[in-house]
Amino acid sequence: MARLIDGKATALAIKNEVKTQISALKDRGHSVCLATILVGDDPASHSYVSGKIKTCGEMGIMSRHFGMPKEISQADLLELINSLNHDSTVNGILVQLPLPDSIDESEIISSIDPRKDVDGFHPLSMGKLVLGEEGFVPCTPAGIIELLKRYGVETRGKNVVIVGRSNIVGKPLANLLIHKKGGADATVTICHSRTTNIKEHTLRADILVAAIGKAHLITSDMVKEGTVVIDVGTNEIGQTTDGKRILVGDVDFETVKDKASLITPVPGGVGPMTIAMLMKNTLLAAQTQTDLSHYCYVNYSQPSERNTAL
């Protein structure tokens, strides 16, 4: 039976490390502040943002929340972000995704000052990630790398199969794992919804990451003995009699755990790591914001300005 990777305990250790460093910043007269923007009234998004705000309070990070109606215009949302970009008391800006269909998500992400891009989704952040340069890394992939490191999983020369090609998990994680450095140096295969015979690929995996958003997609016959299994999926399949959501991952945990060497549960695996790495990115923003040498910030508050800047 697999050894369980405890994301809650690992996340707590990281948050304690971050809390200590935030306290040290405060002792030197520097506060840390994260601004969150939520558009609309999606219950899941509200829950995610509430969790982030609660964790900020535990870390000693000030939070400023902006709840915007679903009907907000693109121009008004850009104006809000622009005001936060120029607010020196705000270190990080997080726009909760997904956004309503009426909003151009890519333009909103690109409008955030790269120095405050704690989600790591800005094109500049993504470019730095691909090049292997220092910068903000998307929180879920960063959390997965931390789990592998802290559980002593060797990645050098190993076959890593990632099921899922999203900009939030699959693509950035693949780029992190192919870098020439410790905790990487892997051979990476990405599978997705158009991959034929996914099982053929997953059976070759020394490390298997499931991040496609389909409950119990990965079954025991798709996993070889001794594989390290990282389950990113969080899928609601119903509710208990007392109204609590029943959440499962992309991996059929009960059968795969008998073949894997290490496995993350759902919930309690990758999920807690995402928020912990957001706190770490917010700390990084506060530590580096006074040094502009690595960034070139363009004001994208108006579409016309954005087009000429590009």
Contact yes or no for 83/66 (Cβ under 8 A) = no
User: If you average pLDDT over residues 166-194, what whole number do you get?
Assistant: 95
Tens of pLDDT, residue by residue over 17-34, are: 999 999 999 999 999 999
* Least confident piece of the model among 62-66, 181-185, 190-194: 181-185
Q: Is residue 126 part of a domain?
A: no
68/143 same-domain check: no
Tens of pLDDT, residue by residue over 262-309, are: 999 999 999 999 999 999 999 999 998 865 434 444 443 344 343 333
Q: Is 280 a catalytic residue?
A: no
DSSP 166-181: -TTTHHHHHHHHHSSS
Marked catalytic residue, from 6, 113, 117, 119: 119
99/150 same-domain check: no
**In CATH, what number is assigned to the domain containing residue 31?**
3.40.50.10860
Q: Is residue 111 part of a domain?
A: yes
Marked catalytic residue, from 52, 128, 257, 280: 52
- Angle (CA) 282 144 273, round 5°: 50
**Pair of tokens at residue 26:** 């405060």
Mean pLDDT for the chain? 92
Tens of pLDDT, residue by residue over 106-143, are: 999 999 999 999 999 999 999 999 999 999 999 999 99
Alpha-carbon span 215 to 212, nearest angstrom: 9
Q: Is residue 53 part of a domain?
A: yes
User: Residue 296: exposed, middle, or buried by beta-carbon count in 10 A (0-12, 13-18, 19+)?
Assistant: exposed
pLDDT of residue 290: 63
Alpha-carbon span 263 to 290, nearest angstrom: 40
pLDDT of residue 53: 97
Contact yes or no for 159/149 (Cβ under 8 A) = no
pLDDT of residue 296: 42
Instruction: Give which of 65, 62, 72, 57 is closest to 15, Cα–Cα.
Output: 57
Number of domains comprising the chain: 2
Q: Is residue 123 part of a domain?
A: no
Q: What is residue 191's three-state secondary structure?
A: strand
| % of the chain exceeding 70 in pLDDT | 93
Q: Using N-to-C axis directions, what is the helix angle for 170-178 and 123-131, rounded to 10°?
A: 30
Tens of pLDDT, residue by residue over 219-271, are: 999 999 999 999 999 988 888 778 788 889 999 999 999 999 999 999 999 99
DSSP 236-288: EEEE-TTS-EEEE-SB-HHHHTTT-SEE--SSSSHHHHHHHHHHHHHHHHHHH
Q: Is 119 a catalytic residue?
A: yes
95/147 same-domain check: no
With tokens 């994260």, the residue in question is: 34
pLDDT of residue 242: 81
Alpha-carbon span 139 to 56, nearest angstrom: 15
**In CATH, what number is assigned to the domain containing residue 145?**
3.40.50.720
pLDDT of residue 20: 96
Domain that holds residue 176: 139-274
Q: Is residue 11 part of a domain?
A: no
Q: Is 8 a catalytic residue?
A: no
pTM (two decimals): 0.91
